[in-house]
Amino acid sequence: MSEKTVNLESGVDRFLTSIPAGYYTIANVKGLKSLLENPQTLLVDVREPSEYRSGHIANAIDIPLRTLTHNLDRIPRDRPIVLYCSTGYRSAMGVMTLHLLGYENVQGFPPSFAGWKNAGEAIASS
């Protein structure tokens, strides 16, 4: 095993063992609504642009997961960040990516857009 491989594995291990209970998540719609009361919170929809245009949570910006690292200038490090997608899978990958890049105030919303919509919450379109 090379030193580079050992360092990468060691770094990933440190990261994985540092994940707190709750895995950086907002568990329900009430929790998200509470967090969004803070005007500093940035809500990021990591779905594709066509998904975003067909309906999204109000005030969310669209940064598709596949372009996340190319848009870090749009994601401030000094504000609360919440990621969501359709079902929770892409947002979880985005949360882990941002944490690996040193972002500390990032959470995912695993109920996702489907959970928001099923709760009867308002849907914005553009």
- Name the residue ranges covered by the structural domains of the chain: 22-118
CATH 3.40.250.10 fits 22-118, yes or no: yes
Burial class (CB in 10 A: 0-12, 13-18, 19+), 122: exposed
Q: What is the pLDDT of residues 43-96, one digit of tens each?
A: 999 999 999 999 999 999 999 999 999 999 999 999 999 999 999 899 999 999
Token readout for 8 is 């990468």
Tell me the pTM.
0.84
